[in-house]
Chain A
Amino acid sequence: MNCPEFGKLMMYLDGELDPSARDDVEAHLGSCRRCRKVLDSQRNLESAWREDFDLPDRADFDQLEEAVFRALRPRRRWMAVIPAAAGIMAVLLGLKLILVSGPSPESGARTVFSEDAMFHGGFRERAEHLREVDLPEAVEEETMADELEAVPAEMRDISSSPDPAGPSDNASAPAAVEEVSERFFATTAEEPDMAFGLVQEGQAAGGIGYGSDHDADTAEEPAGVIETVTVAVSRSVADDEFLQQAGREETFTLVFDAEGLPDSSTAVLLDSLLPGWEDYIPFENRDTVVTVPAAEAADIIGGW
Protein backbone atom coordinates (compact mmCIF):
# COMPACT_ATOMS: atom_id res chain seq x y z
CA MET A 1 0.00 0.00 0.00
CA ASN A 2 1.29 3.44 -0.88
CA CYS A 3 1.84 5.88 1.94
CA PRO A 4 -1.16 8.14 2.51
CA GLU A 5 -0.74 11.81 1.78
CA PHE A 6 0.35 14.11 4.60
CA GLY A 7 -3.12 15.63 4.71
CA LYS A 8 -4.72 12.26 5.22
CA LEU A 9 -2.34 11.43 8.03
CA MET A 10 -3.24 14.72 9.65
CA MET A 11 -6.92 13.98 9.29
CA TYR A 12 -6.25 10.70 11.04
CA LEU A 13 -4.41 12.58 13.77
CA ASP A 14 -7.37 14.95 14.12
CA GLY A 15 -9.93 12.15 14.19
CA GLU A 16 -11.57 13.49 11.05
CA LEU A 17 -11.47 10.34 8.91
CA ASP A 18 -14.47 8.15 8.43
CA PRO A 19 -14.17 4.67 9.96
CA SER A 20 -13.25 2.94 6.73
CA ALA A 21 -10.46 5.38 5.86
CA ARG A 22 -9.28 5.32 9.44
CA ASP A 23 -8.94 1.53 9.33
CA ASP A 24 -6.93 1.77 6.13
CA VAL A 25 -4.52 4.27 7.66
CA GLU A 26 -4.14 2.20 10.80
CA ALA A 27 -3.37 -0.86 8.73
CA HIS A 28 -0.74 1.09 6.86
CA LEU A 29 0.80 2.51 10.00
CA GLY A 30 1.33 -1.01 11.27
CA SER A 31 3.79 -1.65 8.51
CA CYS A 32 5.25 1.78 7.68
CA ARG A 33 7.82 3.18 10.05
CA ARG A 34 8.17 6.39 8.09
CA CYS A 35 4.51 7.31 8.40
CA ARG A 36 4.56 6.45 12.09
CA LYS A 37 7.47 8.84 12.55
CA VAL A 38 5.65 11.62 10.76
CA LEU A 39 2.60 11.06 12.87
CA ASP A 40 4.51 10.81 16.13
CA SER A 41 6.57 13.90 15.47
CA GLN A 42 3.48 15.91 14.60
CA ARG A 43 1.68 14.65 17.67
CA ASN A 44 4.63 15.52 19.91
CA LEU A 45 5.11 18.87 18.26
CA GLU A 46 1.53 19.90 18.82
CA SER A 47 1.45 18.52 22.30
CA ALA A 48 4.53 20.55 23.20
CA TRP A 49 2.94 23.64 21.68
CA ARG A 50 -0.24 23.12 23.69
CA GLU A 51 1.63 22.63 26.93
CA ASP A 52 3.80 25.66 26.36
CA PHE A 53 1.20 27.97 27.71
CA ASP A 54 0.37 29.25 31.15
CA LEU A 55 -3.00 30.76 31.70
CA PRO A 56 -3.04 33.86 33.86
CA ASP A 57 -4.40 33.62 37.39
CA ARG A 58 -8.04 33.04 37.96
CA ALA A 59 -8.24 36.37 39.73
CA ASP A 60 -7.31 38.11 36.48
CA PHE A 61 -10.20 36.43 34.72
CA ASP A 62 -12.53 37.30 37.57
CA GLN A 63 -11.55 40.93 37.20
CA LEU A 64 -12.09 40.83 33.48
CA GLU A 65 -15.46 39.17 33.89
CA GLU A 66 -16.55 41.91 36.24
CA ALA A 67 -15.25 44.58 33.90
CA VAL A 68 -17.13 43.13 30.95
CA PHE A 69 -20.31 42.78 32.96
CA ARG A 70 -20.04 46.37 34.13
CA ALA A 71 -19.41 47.54 30.59
CA LEU A 72 -22.55 45.81 29.39
CA ARG A 73 -24.74 46.65 32.30
CA PRO A 74 -25.33 50.35 31.60
CA ARG A 75 -27.09 49.40 28.42
CA ARG A 76 -30.44 49.14 30.08
CA ARG A 77 -30.14 52.63 31.43
CA TRP A 78 -28.92 53.82 28.10
CA MET A 79 -31.96 52.32 26.45
CA ALA A 80 -34.08 54.34 28.81
CA VAL A 81 -32.38 57.63 28.11
CA ILE A 82 -32.17 57.35 24.34
CA PRO A 83 -35.05 59.79 23.85
CA ALA A 84 -33.32 62.28 26.12
CA ALA A 85 -30.09 61.71 24.25
CA ALA A 86 -31.84 62.42 21.00
CA GLY A 87 -33.15 65.62 22.48
CA ILE A 88 -29.74 66.78 23.52
CA MET A 89 -28.34 65.97 20.13
CA ALA A 90 -31.14 67.92 18.54
CA VAL A 91 -30.38 70.91 20.73
CA LEU A 92 -26.70 70.74 19.87
CA LEU A 93 -27.44 70.48 16.20
CA GLY A 94 -29.96 73.27 16.43
CA LEU A 95 -27.46 75.53 18.14
CA LYS A 96 -24.95 74.80 15.48
CA LEU A 97 -27.37 75.39 12.65
CA ILE A 98 -28.49 78.67 14.14
CA LEU A 99 -25.14 80.04 15.11
CA VAL A 100 -22.78 78.80 12.48
CA SER A 101 -22.36 81.01 9.49
CA GLY A 102 -20.21 80.53 6.44
CA PRO A 103 -20.24 78.08 3.59
CA SER A 104 -22.19 74.87 3.84
CA PRO A 105 -20.28 71.64 4.11
CA GLU A 106 -18.99 70.30 0.88
CA SER A 107 -20.80 67.38 -0.59
CA GLY A 108 -18.94 64.16 -1.18
CA ALA A 109 -16.11 62.69 0.80
CA ARG A 110 -13.48 64.92 2.28
CA THR A 111 -10.18 63.73 3.51
CA VAL A 112 -7.84 65.59 5.77
CA PHE A 113 -4.56 64.40 7.16
CA SER A 114 -3.92 65.20 10.71
CA GLU A 115 -1.26 64.26 13.18
CA ASP A 116 -3.88 64.63 15.84
CA ALA A 117 -5.90 61.85 14.35
CA MET A 118 -3.47 59.43 15.92
CA PHE A 119 -4.86 57.74 18.94
CA HIS A 120 -2.17 55.25 19.78
CA GLY A 121 -3.20 54.75 23.35
CA GLY A 122 -6.81 53.82 22.91
CA PHE A 123 -9.64 55.37 24.79
CA ARG A 124 -7.88 56.46 27.88
CA GLU A 125 -5.36 58.46 25.94
CA ARG A 126 -7.98 59.56 23.54
CA ALA A 127 -10.13 60.86 26.32
CA GLU A 128 -7.49 63.40 27.10
CA HIS A 129 -8.36 65.14 23.88
CA LEU A 130 -11.92 65.52 24.95
CA ARG A 131 -13.61 68.10 27.06
CA GLU A 132 -17.10 68.38 28.39
CA VAL A 133 -19.85 69.95 26.39
CA ASP A 134 -20.29 73.44 27.67
CA LEU A 135 -24.02 73.77 27.40
CA PRO A 136 -25.69 76.61 29.23
CA GLU A 137 -27.02 75.14 32.42
CA ALA A 138 -30.53 76.42 31.92
CA VAL A 139 -30.76 74.98 28.43
CA GLU A 140 -29.41 71.69 29.65
CA GLU A 141 -31.86 71.29 32.50
CA GLU A 142 -34.80 72.49 30.51
CA THR A 143 -33.98 70.09 27.74
CA MET A 144 -33.58 67.22 30.12
CA ALA A 145 -36.88 67.93 31.77
CA ASP A 146 -38.68 68.27 28.46
CA GLU A 147 -37.26 65.08 27.13
CA LEU A 148 -38.05 63.25 30.31
CA GLU A 149 -41.67 64.05 29.77
CA ALA A 150 -41.50 62.14 26.55
CA VAL A 151 -39.98 59.07 28.17
CA PRO A 152 -42.57 56.46 29.08
CA ALA A 153 -43.02 56.03 32.79
CA GLU A 154 -41.72 52.48 32.82
CA MET A 155 -38.55 53.56 31.10
CA ARG A 156 -38.11 56.34 33.59
CA ASP A 157 -38.32 53.70 36.28
CA ILE A 158 -35.47 51.83 34.73
CA SER A 159 -33.31 54.83 34.33
CA SER A 160 -33.99 56.49 37.58
CA SER A 161 -33.95 53.74 40.10
CA PRO A 162 -32.02 50.55 40.57
CA ASP A 163 -34.82 49.40 42.82
CA PRO A 164 -37.04 47.12 40.78
CA ALA A 165 -39.96 47.51 43.14
CA GLY A 166 -42.87 49.13 41.44
CA PRO A 167 -43.29 52.10 39.15
CA SER A 168 -41.89 55.38 40.28
CA ASP A 169 -43.96 58.39 41.06
CA ASN A 170 -43.32 61.94 39.98
CA ALA A 171 -40.64 62.26 42.56
CA SER A 172 -38.41 60.09 40.46
CA ALA A 173 -38.14 62.64 37.71
CA PRO A 174 -35.45 64.80 39.28
CA ALA A 175 -33.38 61.70 39.94
CA ALA A 176 -33.67 60.68 36.34
CA VAL A 177 -32.63 64.10 35.18
CA GLU A 178 -29.65 63.95 37.44
CA GLU A 179 -28.62 60.59 36.10
CA VAL A 180 -29.00 61.64 32.52
CA SER A 181 -26.90 64.64 33.26
CA GLU A 182 -24.19 62.51 34.79
CA ARG A 183 -24.20 60.10 31.97
CA PHE A 184 -23.92 62.64 29.29
CA PHE A 185 -21.45 64.92 30.88
CA ALA A 186 -19.28 62.62 32.85
CA THR A 187 -15.57 63.22 32.66
CA THR A 188 -13.85 60.43 30.83
CA ALA A 189 -10.54 60.49 32.61
CA GLU A 190 -11.64 57.77 34.97
CA GLU A 191 -14.37 56.36 32.81
CA PRO A 192 -13.18 56.58 29.24
CA ASP A 193 -15.86 54.26 27.99
CA MET A 194 -18.46 56.81 28.81
CA ALA A 195 -17.29 59.34 26.30
CA PHE A 196 -20.73 59.89 24.88
CA GLY A 197 -21.68 63.51 24.94
CA LEU A 198 -18.18 64.79 25.10
CA VAL A 199 -16.76 66.96 22.44
CA GLN A 200 -13.31 67.39 21.19
CA GLU A 201 -11.67 70.66 20.52
CA GLY A 202 -10.62 71.18 17.00
CA GLN A 203 -9.77 67.68 15.98
CA ALA A 204 -11.71 64.62 15.05
CA ALA A 205 -12.76 62.35 17.82
CA GLY A 206 -14.10 59.68 15.58
CA GLY A 207 -17.46 58.06 15.42
CA ILE A 208 -20.29 60.24 14.41
CA GLY A 209 -19.40 63.41 12.62
CA TYR A 210 -21.83 65.83 14.01
CA GLY A 211 -21.69 68.53 11.45
CA SER A 212 -18.06 68.68 12.33
CA ASP A 213 -15.26 70.34 10.51
CA HIS A 214 -11.97 68.58 10.71
CA ASP A 215 -10.08 71.25 8.85
CA ALA A 216 -9.53 72.98 12.13
CA ASP A 217 -5.83 73.33 11.49
CA THR A 218 -6.44 75.59 8.57
CA ALA A 219 -9.93 76.94 8.99
CA GLU A 220 -10.38 80.33 10.55
CA GLU A 221 -13.58 80.64 12.45
CA PRO A 222 -15.39 83.95 12.29
CA ALA A 223 -15.83 85.70 15.60
CA GLY A 224 -18.95 84.76 17.45
CA VAL A 225 -19.38 81.47 15.65
CA ILE A 226 -19.95 78.48 17.87
CA GLU A 227 -17.06 76.14 18.05
CA THR A 228 -17.06 73.10 15.82
CA VAL A 229 -18.44 70.11 17.63
CA THR A 230 -17.70 66.47 17.18
CA VAL A 231 -19.56 64.00 19.31
CA ALA A 232 -17.44 61.07 20.35
CA VAL A 233 -19.25 57.82 20.87
CA SER A 234 -17.28 55.11 22.54
CA ARG A 235 -17.47 51.43 21.82
CA SER A 236 -19.09 50.69 25.14
CA VAL A 237 -22.18 52.38 23.86
CA ALA A 238 -23.91 49.36 22.46
CA ASP A 239 -23.57 48.85 18.76
CA ASP A 240 -27.25 49.00 18.05
CA GLU A 241 -27.68 52.24 19.95
CA PHE A 242 -24.63 53.64 18.30
CA LEU A 243 -26.00 52.79 14.91
CA GLN A 244 -29.39 54.21 15.74
CA GLN A 245 -27.61 57.39 16.60
CA ALA A 246 -25.44 57.22 13.53
CA GLY A 247 -28.50 56.66 11.39
CA ARG A 248 -29.70 60.13 12.21
CA GLU A 249 -26.56 61.81 11.05
CA GLU A 250 -26.01 63.51 7.75
CA THR A 251 -22.38 62.60 7.63
CA PHE A 252 -20.19 59.90 9.06
CA THR A 253 -16.69 60.60 10.16
CA LEU A 254 -14.28 57.73 9.87
CA VAL A 255 -11.06 57.96 11.82
CA PHE A 256 -8.00 55.92 10.94
CA ASP A 257 -4.97 55.89 13.18
CA ALA A 258 -1.29 55.97 12.38
CA GLU A 259 -1.45 52.34 11.38
CA GLY A 260 -4.28 52.95 8.97
CA LEU A 261 -6.67 51.07 11.24
CA PRO A 262 -10.08 52.43 12.16
CA ASP A 263 -10.79 53.46 15.69
CA SER A 264 -13.41 51.45 17.44
CA SER A 265 -16.34 53.74 16.72
CA THR A 266 -15.38 53.69 13.08
CA ALA A 267 -15.06 49.93 13.27
CA VAL A 268 -18.62 49.67 14.54
CA LEU A 269 -19.81 51.74 11.60
CA LEU A 270 -17.83 49.66 9.18
CA ASP A 271 -19.19 46.48 10.72
CA SER A 272 -22.62 47.78 9.93
CA LEU A 273 -21.98 49.30 6.53
CA LEU A 274 -19.58 46.81 5.13
CA PRO A 275 -19.52 43.43 6.86
CA GLY A 276 -16.16 41.78 6.36
CA TRP A 277 -14.44 45.12 5.79
CA GLU A 278 -11.35 43.76 7.57
CA ASP A 279 -10.67 41.59 4.56
CA TYR A 280 -10.53 44.23 1.95
CA ILE A 281 -10.07 47.68 3.35
CA PRO A 282 -6.60 48.54 2.08
CA PHE A 283 -5.39 50.05 5.36
CA GLU A 284 -3.85 52.92 3.49
CA ASN A 285 -5.73 55.58 5.37
CA ARG A 286 -3.05 56.40 7.87
CA ASP A 287 -3.66 59.42 10.08
CA THR A 288 -6.73 60.13 8.10
CA VAL A 289 -10.13 61.44 8.91
CA VAL A 290 -12.71 60.91 6.22
CA THR A 291 -16.08 62.55 6.29
CA VAL A 292 -18.64 60.99 4.01
CA PRO A 293 -22.32 61.72 3.46
CA ALA A 294 -24.28 59.11 5.38
CA ALA A 295 -26.45 58.23 2.41
CA GLU A 296 -23.46 57.43 0.24
CA ALA A 297 -21.19 55.99 2.90
CA ALA A 298 -21.56 52.34 1.95
CA ASP A 299 -20.90 53.04 -1.72
CA ILE A 300 -17.91 55.23 -1.04
CA ILE A 301 -16.32 52.87 1.43
CA GLY A 302 -17.12 49.89 -0.74
CA GLY A 303 -15.28 51.56 -3.58
CA TRP A 304 -12.02 51.83 -1.63
Chain B
Amino acid sequence: MFPCVLLMTADNGGDPDAELLRRAGKGDRDAFGELFSKYGKRVFRVARRMCSSDEDAWDITQDAFIRAMGAMDRFDPQYRFFTWIYRITTNLAINYSRKRRRRREVNFDEAFDGGGRQTTAPDLEERAASEELVRAVRRAVEKLSPALRSVFVLRVDGELSYSEIAETLDIAIGTVMSRLNRARSSIRDELGELLEEWE
Protein backbone atom coordinates (compact mmCIF):
# COMPACT_ATOMS: atom_id res chain seq x y z
CA MET B 1 0.00 0.00 0.00
CA PHE B 2 2.71 2.51 0.89
CA PRO B 3 5.67 1.20 -1.04
CA CYS B 4 8.20 3.75 0.09
CA VAL B 5 7.84 2.67 3.67
CA LEU B 6 9.76 -0.43 2.77
CA LEU B 7 12.84 1.65 2.13
CA MET B 8 13.18 2.76 5.69
CA THR B 9 13.56 -0.42 7.61
CA ALA B 10 17.31 -0.75 7.73
CA ASP B 11 18.52 2.32 9.55
CA ASN B 12 15.82 3.07 12.02
CA GLY B 13 16.08 0.04 14.21
CA GLY B 14 15.61 2.32 17.18
CA ASP B 15 12.15 3.29 16.11
CA PRO B 16 9.66 1.09 17.90
CA ASP B 17 7.23 1.75 15.06
CA ALA B 18 9.52 0.39 12.36
CA GLU B 19 7.84 -3.00 12.29
CA LEU B 20 4.39 -1.48 12.22
CA LEU B 21 5.43 0.81 9.40
CA ARG B 22 6.87 -2.09 7.47
CA ARG B 23 3.65 -4.06 7.79
CA ALA B 24 1.49 -1.06 7.04
CA GLY B 25 3.62 -0.52 3.98
CA LYS B 26 2.53 -3.91 2.76
CA GLY B 27 -1.07 -2.91 3.12
CA ASP B 28 -1.61 -4.61 6.47
CA ARG B 29 -4.85 -3.09 7.72
CA ASP B 30 -4.23 -4.16 11.31
CA ALA B 31 -0.78 -2.59 11.36
CA PHE B 32 -2.14 0.64 10.00
CA GLY B 33 -4.92 0.50 12.56
CA GLU B 34 -2.41 0.02 15.33
CA LEU B 35 -0.38 2.99 14.15
CA PHE B 36 -3.48 5.12 13.95
CA SER B 37 -4.66 4.00 17.38
CA LYS B 38 -1.28 4.87 18.78
CA TYR B 39 -1.00 8.33 17.29
CA GLY B 40 -4.39 9.42 16.01
CA LYS B 41 -5.60 10.88 19.28
CA ARG B 42 -2.26 12.46 20.07
CA VAL B 43 -2.09 14.09 16.68
CA PHE B 44 -5.65 15.31 17.03
CA ARG B 45 -4.90 16.76 20.43
CA VAL B 46 -1.86 18.67 19.23
CA ALA B 47 -3.79 19.87 16.19
CA ARG B 48 -6.74 20.95 18.30
CA ARG B 49 -4.51 22.87 20.66
CA MET B 50 -2.80 24.60 17.80
CA CYS B 51 -5.90 25.63 15.87
CA SER B 52 -9.25 27.04 16.73
CA SER B 53 -11.88 24.54 15.80
CA ASP B 54 -12.70 20.86 15.85
CA GLU B 55 -13.23 20.94 12.13
CA ASP B 56 -9.74 22.22 11.48
CA ALA B 57 -8.30 19.69 13.91
CA TRP B 58 -10.00 16.82 12.10
CA ASP B 59 -8.79 18.10 8.76
CA ILE B 60 -5.27 18.50 10.05
CA THR B 61 -5.25 15.03 11.58
CA GLN B 62 -6.46 13.44 8.38
CA ASP B 63 -4.06 15.44 6.27
CA ALA B 64 -1.15 14.68 8.55
CA PHE B 65 -1.65 10.93 8.31
CA ILE B 66 -2.17 10.99 4.58
CA ARG B 67 0.92 13.09 4.06
CA ALA B 68 3.04 11.12 6.47
CA MET B 69 2.08 7.73 5.10
CA GLY B 70 1.97 8.88 1.51
CA ALA B 71 5.35 10.60 1.46
CA MET B 72 7.49 8.17 3.34
CA ASP B 73 10.17 8.47 0.69
CA ARG B 74 11.00 11.82 2.17
CA PHE B 75 11.07 10.46 5.70
CA ASP B 76 14.53 10.58 7.19
CA PRO B 77 15.08 7.22 8.88
CA GLN B 78 17.29 8.76 11.53
CA TYR B 79 14.12 10.21 13.03
CA ARG B 80 11.17 8.47 14.60
CA PHE B 81 7.76 8.20 13.06
CA PHE B 82 6.00 10.10 15.80
CA THR B 83 8.30 13.10 15.48
CA TRP B 84 7.77 12.99 11.71
CA ILE B 85 4.01 13.05 12.01
CA TYR B 86 4.08 15.64 14.77
CA ARG B 87 6.21 17.82 12.53
CA ILE B 88 3.71 17.56 9.71
CA THR B 89 0.90 18.23 12.16
CA THR B 90 2.46 21.36 13.62
CA ASN B 91 3.30 22.73 10.18
CA LEU B 92 -0.23 22.13 8.97
CA ALA B 93 -1.65 23.63 12.14
CA ILE B 94 0.50 26.72 11.83
CA ASN B 95 -0.77 27.20 8.29
CA TYR B 96 -4.36 26.79 9.44
CA SER B 97 -3.77 29.17 12.28
CA ARG B 98 -2.33 31.80 9.95
CA LYS B 99 -5.32 31.40 7.75
CA ARG B 100 -7.72 31.83 10.62
CA ARG B 101 -5.85 34.77 11.99
CA ARG B 102 -6.12 36.54 8.69
CA ARG B 103 -9.80 35.94 8.48
CA ARG B 104 -10.28 37.29 11.98
CA GLU B 105 -13.45 35.35 12.25
CA VAL B 106 -12.67 33.03 15.07
CA ASN B 107 -12.48 34.10 18.61
CA PHE B 108 -10.38 31.52 20.34
CA ASP B 109 -12.34 31.57 23.52
CA GLU B 110 -15.70 31.39 21.82
CA ALA B 111 -14.50 28.63 19.55
CA PHE B 112 -13.47 26.59 22.52
CA ASP B 113 -16.71 27.23 24.33
CA GLY B 114 -18.75 26.30 21.31
CA GLY B 115 -16.61 23.53 20.01
CA GLY B 116 -17.52 20.86 22.48
CA ARG B 117 -14.18 20.92 24.13
CA GLN B 118 -15.34 22.08 27.48
CA THR B 119 -15.80 19.73 30.33
CA THR B 120 -17.99 22.12 32.28
CA ALA B 121 -21.33 23.64 31.40
CA PRO B 122 -21.10 27.34 30.54
CA ASP B 123 -23.26 28.51 33.44
CA LEU B 124 -21.10 26.70 35.94
CA GLU B 125 -18.02 27.92 34.20
CA GLU B 126 -18.98 31.50 34.81
CA ARG B 127 -19.17 30.89 38.49
CA ALA B 128 -16.23 28.65 39.00
CA ALA B 129 -13.06 30.44 39.85
CA SER B 130 -10.95 27.60 38.60
CA GLU B 131 -12.71 27.76 35.29
CA GLU B 132 -11.93 31.41 35.06
CA LEU B 133 -8.31 30.57 35.48
CA VAL B 134 -8.51 27.90 32.83
CA ARG B 135 -10.09 30.32 30.43
CA ALA B 136 -7.40 32.81 31.21
CA VAL B 137 -4.82 30.19 30.36
CA ARG B 138 -6.57 29.49 27.08
CA ARG B 139 -6.52 33.14 26.19
CA ALA B 140 -2.88 33.41 27.18
CA VAL B 141 -1.94 30.40 25.07
CA GLU B 142 -3.91 31.76 22.15
CA LYS B 143 -1.86 34.91 22.26
CA LEU B 144 1.37 33.00 21.86
CA SER B 145 3.01 33.06 18.47
CA PRO B 146 2.78 29.78 16.56
CA ALA B 147 6.45 29.09 17.26
CA LEU B 148 6.00 29.44 21.02
CA ARG B 149 2.65 27.73 21.09
CA SER B 150 3.88 24.68 19.23
CA VAL B 151 6.68 24.18 21.75
CA PHE B 152 4.32 24.66 24.67
CA VAL B 153 1.72 22.28 23.26
CA LEU B 154 4.24 19.60 22.38
CA ARG B 155 5.68 19.78 25.88
CA VAL B 156 2.53 20.11 27.96
CA ASP B 157 -0.02 18.25 25.85
CA GLY B 158 2.25 15.97 23.90
CA GLU B 159 4.51 15.40 26.91
CA LEU B 160 7.52 15.27 24.64
CA SER B 161 11.00 15.69 26.03
CA TYR B 162 13.11 18.63 24.98
CA SER B 163 15.10 16.50 22.57
CA GLU B 164 11.93 15.08 21.04
CA ILE B 165 10.55 18.56 20.56
CA ALA B 166 13.82 19.62 18.97
CA GLU B 167 13.62 16.66 16.61
CA THR B 168 9.99 17.34 15.80
CA LEU B 169 10.45 20.99 15.01
CA ASP B 170 13.95 20.62 13.64
CA ILE B 171 15.38 23.18 15.99
CA ALA B 172 18.18 23.10 18.58
CA ILE B 173 17.46 22.00 22.13
CA GLY B 174 18.59 25.41 23.32
CA THR B 175 15.93 26.96 21.13
CA VAL B 176 13.35 24.61 22.60
CA MET B 177 14.31 25.69 26.10
CA SER B 178 14.27 29.39 25.33
CA ARG B 179 10.95 29.20 23.49
CA LEU B 180 9.41 27.16 26.27
CA ASN B 181 10.57 29.65 28.87
CA ARG B 182 9.23 32.54 26.85
CA ALA B 183 5.92 30.76 26.37
CA ARG B 184 5.57 29.98 30.05
CA SER B 185 6.65 33.43 31.16
CA SER B 186 4.23 35.02 28.75
CA ILE B 187 1.36 32.89 30.05
CA ARG B 188 2.23 33.75 33.63
CA ASP B 189 2.39 37.42 32.78
CA GLU B 190 -1.01 37.24 31.15
CA LEU B 191 -2.50 35.54 34.18
CA GLY B 192 -1.10 38.13 36.54
CA GLU B 193 -2.84 38.10 39.85
CA LEU B 194 -5.02 35.16 38.90
CA LEU B 195 -1.94 33.05 39.14
CA GLU B 196 -1.79 33.55 42.88
CA GLU B 197 -4.86 31.37 43.21
CA TRP B 198 -2.73 28.49 42.09
CA GLU B 199 0.13 29.29 44.39
Residues of A within 8 A of B (CB): 6-7, 10-11, 14, 16, 37-38, 40-42, 44-46, 48-56, 60-61, 64-65, 67-69, 71-73, 75-76, 79, 122, 235-236, 238-240, 259-261, 264, 271, 278, 283
Quick check: B36 and A278 within 8 Å, CB to CB?
no
**B168: min CB distance to chain A, Å:** 14
* Inter-chain contacts of B59 with A (CB < 8 A): 122
Residue interface mask B165-181, A partner, CB < 8 A = 1: 00000000000011011
Q: Measured between alpha carbons, how far is A235 from B103 in the docked complex, in Å?
A: 24
* Inter-chain contacts of A69 with B (CB < 8 A): 29, 32-33, 36
Known: A54-B116, A56-B44, A65-B33. A73 touches B1 (CB 8 A): yes
* Inter-chain contacts of A75 with B (CB < 8 A): 1-3, 70
* Inter-chain contacts of A67 with B (CB < 8 A): 62
Other CB < 8 Å A-B pairs besides A65-B37, A68-B65, A259-B103, 7 of them? A6-B181, A60-B58, A65-B32, A68-B66, A72-B66, A238-B70, A278-B94
The answer to whether B161 has its CB under 8 Å from any CB of chain A is yes
By size class, the interface of chain B is 35 or more
* Inter-chain contacts of B157 with A (CB < 8 A): 49-50, 53
Q: Which of B36-65 contact A (CB under 8 A)?
A: 36-37, 40-41, 44-45, 48-49, 54, 58-59, 61-63, 65
Quick check: A44 and B198 within 8 Å, CB to CB?
yes
Quick check: B137 and A45 within 8 Å, CB to CB?
yes
Quick check: B138 and A55 within 8 Å, CB to CB?
no
Known: A37-B199, A65-B40. A54 touches B118 (CB 8 A): yes
Question: Closest residue to A75 on the B side, CB-wise?
Answer: B1
The answer to whether B21 has its CB under 8 Å from any CB of chain A is no
Considering residues B29, B65, B66, B99, which has the most beta carbons from chain A within 10 angstroms of its beta carbon?
A: B66
How many pairs of residues, A versus B, come closer than 8 Å at their CB atoms?
Answer: 142
Q: Measured between alpha carbons, how far is A11 from B2 in the docked complex, in Å?
A: 40
Residues of B within 8 A of A (CB): 1-4, 27, 29, 32-33, 36-37, 40-41, 44-45, 48-49, 54, 58-59, 61-63, 65-67, 69-71, 73-74, 91, 94-95, 98-99, 102-103, 116-119, 130, 133-134, 137-138, 141, 155-157, 161-162, 177-178, 180-181, 184-185, 187-188, 191, 195-196, 198-199
Q: Measured between alpha carbons, how far is A95 from B59 in the docked complex, in Å?
A: 38
Q: Measured between alpha carbons, how far is A127 from B3 in the docked complex, in Å?
A: 29
Quick check: A45 and B48 within 8 Å, CB to CB?
no
Q: Measured between alpha carbons, how far is A295 from B98 in the docked complex, in Å?
A: 30
**B69: min CB distance to chain A, Å:** 6
* Inter-chain contacts of B3 with A (CB < 8 A): 75, 79
Q: Measured between alpha carbons, how far is A6 from B28 in the docked complex, in Å?
A: 48
* Inter-chain contacts of A278 with B (CB < 8 A): 91, 94-95
* Inter-chain contacts of B48 with A (CB < 8 A): 53
Q: Measured between alpha carbons, how far is A235 from B91 in the docked complex, in Å?
A: 16
Quick check: A64 and B62 within 8 Å, CB to CB?
yes
Quick check: A259 and B181 within 8 Å, CB to CB?
no
Q: Measured between alpha carbons, how far is A67 from B40 in the docked complex, in Å?
A: 12
* Inter-chain contacts of A45 with B (CB < 8 A): 133, 137, 187-188, 191, 195, 198
Quick check: A55 and B95 within 8 Å, CB to CB?
no
Known: A6-B185, A14-B155. A49 touches B141 (CB 8 A): yes
Q: Measured between alpha carbons, how far is A72 from B67 in the docked complex, in Å?
A: 10
Known: A45-B195, A54-B118, A75-B1. A64 touches B40 (CB 8 A): yes
Quick check: B198 and A68 within 8 Å, CB to CB?
no
Determine which of A56, A79, A122 lies in contact with B54 in the assembled complex, contact meaning CB atoms within 8 Å.
Answer: A56
Q: Measured between alpha carbons, how far is A283 from B94 in the docked complex, in Å?
A: 13
Quick check: B45 and A55 within 8 Å, CB to CB?
yes
Q: Measured between alpha carbons, how far is A13 from B111 in the docked complex, in Å?
A: 31
Q: Measured between alpha carbons, how far is A49 from B117 in the docked complex, in Å?
A: 12
Q: Measured between alpha carbons, how far is A11 from B191 in the docked complex, in Å?
A: 21
22 A–B contact pairs at CB < 8 A?
A6-B181, A7-B178, A14-B162, A16-B161, A41-B196, A41-B199, A42-B188, A44-B198, A48-B137, A48-B198, A49-B141, A52-B118, A52-B134, A54-B117, A54-B118, A55-B41, A67-B62, A69-B29, A72-B66, A76-B27, A261-B95, A278-B95
Question: Closest residue to A65 on the B side, CB-wise?
Answer: B36
**B3: min CB distance to chain A, Å:** 7
Known: A53-B48, A67-B62, A69-B29. A46 touches B40 (CB 8 A): no
**B138: min CB distance to chain A, Å:** 7
Known: A45-B198, A52-B134. A64 touches B66 (CB 8 A): no
